[in-house]
Amino acid sequence: MRFRLAALTALLATSAGATPDDAPFARIQALRPAAVEGNWTRMKMPDGGRTAFASINYLMALDDDWGFGPGVYGAAKGNYGGIFTVGFTGQRRWRLSSQTHLAASLYVGAGGGLSSQQLRFGGGLMLRPELSLRTETGAWYSGVGLSQIRFPGGNVKSGVGLSFTLGRAMDFPSFAPEDAGRRGRATQRTGLGFDEIALTGGYEKPSGSSRDRSGAPLVRRIGRAGAELRQYIVDGSWWGIEAAGAAQGGADGYMEVLGQIGQDWPLFGSPRLRAGGQLGAGLGGGGNVDTGSGVLLRAGPTVRWLTPWGPSLRLDTGYTHALSGGYRAPYARLVLAMPLDRAPAAFVDETGGVVRVQQLGASAQYLPRMRFKDGRVEGVTHLAVRMSREFSPRVYGTAQAGSAAAGSAGAYSFGLFGLGVQSDPLWRGVRVGGEWLVGAAGGGGVWVGGGAVTQAELWAQWPLSERLSLRGGVGEFHTLRGHTQSTPLTHLSLSYAYGTLQR
């Protein structure tokens, strides 16, 4: 499906006919086409083994032909579980017929994993160009193409080979950022389309059969911290995406990304207290944990309490199983979920809410004094995906995930979440603010203790257009356990802002 903006024209025509009764309400300003794509790319590694990289990418139309958005790649075959990169994909499409299109893509990301004398990821920068032909069936499309994966700073590089794509076209409806704080109406979910974002924290206790990559038993429980995005299909039925990393237990560098589905039902006749179960599947590894190919399966019960104030609390338990390799572990975690949006009620044309600004962007951070496990101290540059959501005009939540892209810390990755405060627009729309984040990090030989880290930053943001802005900041990064790692940082990010409904 070609990226088209015809929907925007139709939407503006509808809005032009609004009645005076609608005047107090903000309306969707832009309805852009978007797509979710998955790729499968096979390659031969420098040590002679064979693997395949699986990916998921979210692409939003910039105009009729160009799309751009975040993505993640991970090893899903062979004995390379734990190789991950996070970055952005740019894509150009050409319409060939009513049901086919040609796409040229370039993914730029950062990460790595399982570094050795045979496998070197350099600074962590990854490039993946692709040219593919796609066939469309309704909202779905599939394709085959030619692609290459390479880490320019290391020796990991594939030849040009076949890749396979499966995607689904969708919409990206949004309000104008200037409508923040106003009442709004929409007949569909806005923004990325997720109903809630959650912070997760808990433990996994490896079973007696679990091993590290050297074959030694895994005996210490692993503390994990992460985040989750969820969409409810109907009341009590959901699907979502979760990502987490090791924050305690000597497994720094362990990372996992899973998709999940689940269902729960009211307990004791109370609609606010619910119990059910969930299933998950995805990729994980790193931190010297033997997950084999990296494919993980997860299942277990869940109990959820919907508070009267909006957020919800959950207790999840269950079992994590690596499809190959030597990792099996029961888990328990606590979850705090914050509402983002929700589907309009059935049989109702429109539902209202308050417009809140959300931002999605790419960021680069430079940390000049990163300490490594071998005692050296060097500068490291990070590439990350950053997302923020206003809770009020002055307070926002934020999360970022990324990896080292320059320096010698290839395979170092992190995930952080926290809160920030910001000013009202000042001279020429400039804002200033500050934020504090916590999370998990590790890999690449960087010294991070158990993996729990924190970061504080002061920033200033300049508007470039109605939706684009440039932000620069300074701050400090350090580990939470023992403060064995501490370094100043500088941060530069480019963000796209859009309004979503808090219903």
> Which of the given ranges, 26-30, 164-168, 439-443, has the highest pLDDT on average?
164-168
Q: Strand, helix or coil at 176?
A: coil
| pLDDT band of 482, cuts 50, 70, 90 | low
Rounded distance between C-alpha atoms, residue 475 and residue 461, angstroms: 15
Burial class (CB in 10 A: 0-12, 13-18, 19+), 383: buried
Closest among 73, 67, 71, 68 to 57, alpha carbons compared: 71
Task: Enter the tokens of residue 295.
Answer: 């494919």
Asked whether residue 55 carries a pLDDT value surpassing 90, the answer given is yes
Whole-number pLDDT of residue 288 = 87
The residues with which 68 forms a beta bridge, in sequence order, are 60, 90
In the predicted model, what is the mean pLDDT of residues 179-187? 88
| pLDDT band of 17, cuts 50, 70, 90 | very low
Mean pLDDT, the chain, whole residue set: 89
Whole-number pLDDT of residue 404 = 92
Asked whether residue 380 carries a pLDDT value surpassing 50, the answer given is yes
Whole-number pLDDT of residue 7 = 42
223 φ/ψ angles, rounded to the nearest 5 degrees? -80, 135
Closest among 436, 496, 474, 82 to 282, alpha carbons compared: 82
pLDDT tens digits along 94-139: 999 999 999 999 999 999 887 777 888 889 999 999 999 999 999 9
Cα angle value 83/89/90 (rounded, 5°): 160
Residue written as token pair 């808090």: 502
Asked whether residue 14 carries a pLDDT value surpassing 70, the answer given is no
> What counts of helices (H) and strands (E) characterise the chain?
1, 25
Asked whether residue 315 carries a pLDDT value surpassing 60, the answer given is yes
In the predicted model, what is the mean pLDDT of residues 235-239? 92
357 in Cβ contact with 390 (< 8 Å):
yes
Which residues lie closer than 8 Å to 205 by C-beta, 6 or more apart?
Answer: 221, 222, 329, 330, 331
Can you give the residue ranges of every domain in the chain? 6-174, 194-339, 352-502
Q: Domain 6-174 carries which CATH code?
A: 2.40.160.20
Rounded distance between C-alpha atoms, residue 450 and residue 448, angstroms: 6
Cα angle value 374/375/376 (rounded, 5°): 100
Asked whether residue 16 carries a pLDDT value surpassing 80, the answer given is no
3-state secondary structure 105-171: EEEEEEEECCCCCCCCCCCCEEEEEEEEEEEEECCEEEEEEEECCECCCCCCECCCEEEEEEEEEEE
Whole-number pLDDT of residue 8 = 39
| pLDDT band of 351, cuts 50, 70, 90 | low
13 φ/ψ angles, rounded to the nearest 5 degrees? -65, -40
| pTM across the whole model | 0.88
Number of CB atoms found within 10 A of residue 43's CB: 22
Burial class (CB in 10 A: 0-12, 13-18, 19+), 270: exposed
CA distances from 279 to 47, 127, 226, 263, 466 (A): 35, 32, 17, 9, 41
Which CATH architecture is the domain 194-339 placed in? Answer: Beta Barrel (2.40)
Closest among 276, 344, 278, 270 to 308, alpha carbons compared: 270
Task: Enter the tokens of residue 481.
Answer: 């356990």
pLDDT tens digits along 151-168: 998 899 998 999 999 999
pLDDT tens digits along 246-261: 888 878 888 999 999 9
Range of lowest pLDDT (23-37, 66-80, 277-291): 23-37
Task: Enter the tokens of residue 71.
Answer: 């993505």
Handedness of CA 406, 408, 411, 414 (dihedral sign): negative
Identical fold for domains 6-174 and 194-339, yes or no, is yes
In the predicted model, what is the mean pLDDT of residues 199-215? 90
Whole-number pLDDT of residue 458 = 98
HSE-up of 348 (CA within 13 Å, CB side)? 10
Rounded distance between C-alpha atoms, residue 116 and residue 426, angstroms: 50
Asked whether residue 63 carries a pLDDT value surpassing 90, the answer given is no
Asked whether residue 362 carries a pLDDT value surpassing 50, the answer given is yes
| pLDDT band of 394, cuts 50, 70, 90 | very high
Closest among 405, 380, 387 to 87, alpha carbons compared: 405
| Fold held by 352-502 | Porin (2.40.160)
| pLDDT band of 3, cuts 50, 70, 90 | low
Whole-number pLDDT of residue 1 = 43
Asked whether residue 23 carries a pLDDT value surpassing 70, the answer given is no
Rounded distance between C-alpha atoms, residue 498 and residue 56, angstroms: 22
| pLDDT band of 444, cuts 50, 70, 90 | confident
HSE-up of 323 (CA within 13 Å, CB side)? 16
Amino acid present at 486: S
